[in-house]
Amino acid sequence: MRYLLELSYNGAPFHGWQRQPNAISVQQVVEESLSTIMKEKITVVGAGRTDSGVHAKYFCAHFDYSKKIIDKNDFLFKINSFVSKEIFIINIHEVQENFHARFDALSRSYEYVLTTQKDPFAINSAYFLKKHIDFGKMNLAAMALYDHSNFKCFSKSNTDVKTYYCEISNAKWSFINGQWIFKISANRFLRNMVRAIVGTLIEIGENKYEIDHIEKVIMSKNRELAGYSVPAHGLYLTNIIYPDLKL
């Protein structure tokens, strides 16, 4: 039987979601915890990757299990008692055998959290930038993202992806509870893409470049022309949408 896990995690102590040969990952911890309490080897397939240090307020993964889970509440209690304190299993659902957490996803959403005021309680959860930034200008620049689909310029170098095409449906900065939050949604994302987009927008907001600079960067398909990659600790995966999945 196939099951869908909904979970969240603080990415600070992990080297991303995906298993690594010589470093601890969220996937490894979840798989080992499930295998222990379910008494059989469990392999988990995630909805995608998050880089080292990146957080997930909402993440999905599927796995196969030979038995039917009768008491869902009992399962959730056991797994959350066993799994690392930085990981929370929100819910579990039985799904169709052909469901795939990664390939069936229609869209994913991220938030990048930035603060321009020093906050000792946000040093590990938001990027502190002690500079004057024009967020209105950054939002005007972000509108160019809707007009393009090839985002090779924002992709991590030497990646193994076969296509750089993504369809962005939302990209906007908002001021919420004393922090600036960049919300972005797309059908798929490239490795390091959101952090490179944010770095490029920040350089425009600092008046290093004009608004049309982002257009030139995208058309160039050259990562070296894009902005710097902002720190991972400010990035959160916040939503994943699937078709006709009634949970």
**Do the beta carbons of residue 48 and residue 54 sit within 8 Å?**
no
Name the pairing type of β-strands 235-241 and 127-128. unpaired
H and E: helices and strands count for the chain: 5, 9
How far apart CA 160 and CA 107 sit, in angstroms, is: 21
Beta bridge partners of 45: 62
With H, G, I as helix, E, B as strand and everything else as coil, classify residue 94. strand
C-alpha to C-alpha distances, 79 to 38, 73, 74, nearest whole angstrom: 9, 10, 9
Closest CA to 189 of 166, 159, 162, 171: 166
Contacts of residue 31, Cβ cutoff 8 Å, sequence gap at least 6: 19, 42, 43, 44
35-74: burial string, b at 16+ Cβ within 10 Å, e else: eeebeeebebbbbbebbebbbbbbbbbbbeeeeeeeeeee
Beta bridge partners of 87: 9
Positions marked active-site:
51
